[in-house]
Amino acid sequence: MQPGGNVRRLKAEIGENQLFRTRYKRWGNGKLKAAVCEDEEALQLFLEKQVCECMEEAGINGSCEVFSSAEELLEKGNPFYDLYLLDIQLGQMTGMELAEKIREKDDHAVILFATNYKEMIRKAFQVSALDYLVKPLDEVEVRQALLRSFRYLSKKRNRIALKNQSGVEIFYHEEIEYIESEKRKVRICSRRGSGEFYVRLNALEQELKGSLLVRVHASFIINLEKIRSVRKDTITMESGKEIPVTRKYKDQFNRAFQNYCLEMRR
């Protein structure tokens, strides 16, 4: 299907060098998740195609889901996406109202707006939108906005989504100080405070492999970026919390911490 009147197709080749592609490897085995919320079918197809093609060009392991309304996206439950492309003029709930709902639970996701109305641009920044696209959409501008979004996201650490009685909460690696195991639950200590979640520490350790969150004890995972000092078998975190390093995890911690320090000196 050819794009409708709201899409102006331009031929463009955006060449990316190997260094640019390598930046996006930070997602590791996890996927970058994108969501398109647009009520016009031709634009749905166009935007989905652009997202998938730009992911492929940038070497990103990702996926894109398409929704026809804000209600449809919200009804899916608690799907958290890294990138949202939202039409401002949707149906009963506008794209702006949807963005406000997204921001209630996630301050870090990238939001891009598509609109026919330039006067809506100022409102877009009230929900910390990264960019806006004015219809009729220009293919080059869409692709450039997507690549800017990928660059922005590549600078963010990975995230984990954890469940408790209140629902699902997202934590970005960079905001976590340490994770402590308490029986069948874990306690996440972050700059937001602390909270308990139903997950085993062993499962989290596997999910966090290759990140700066490292297991140092049967009951603790710590963030290398949040270390204040290391003395013998004790790590002091930024908060003043002292965490022991046991023999089982000492070599693993030493290697990870040395690599982190070397990386910081570059």
CA dihedral 21, 24, 29, 34 (to 10 degrees): -110
**Mean local confidence (pLDDT), 213-242:** 95
Distances (CA, A) of 61 to 55, 58, 67, 206, 259: 7, 9, 21, 19, 25
* Domain topology for 159-264: OB fold (Dihydrolipoamide Acetyltransferase, E2P) (2.40.50)
**What mean pLDDT is reported for the chain?**
82
Kind and range of the H or E run holding 99: helix 95-105
Residue pLDDT, tens place only, 55-86: 988 888 889 999 999 999 998 865 678 899 99
Q: Is 16 helix (H, G, I), strand (E, B) or coil?
A: coil
Q: Count Cβ atoms below 10 Å from residue 28 Cβ, excluding itself.
A: 11
Domain parsing of the chain, residue ranges: 32-157, 159-264
Residue 25 reports pLDDT greater than 60: no
| Reported pTM | 0.58
CATH number of 32-157: 3.40.50.2300
Bridge partners for 171 per DSSP? 160
Q: Which residue has the higher pLDDT, 105 or 38?
A: 38
**119 vs 174: CA distance, rounded Å:** 36
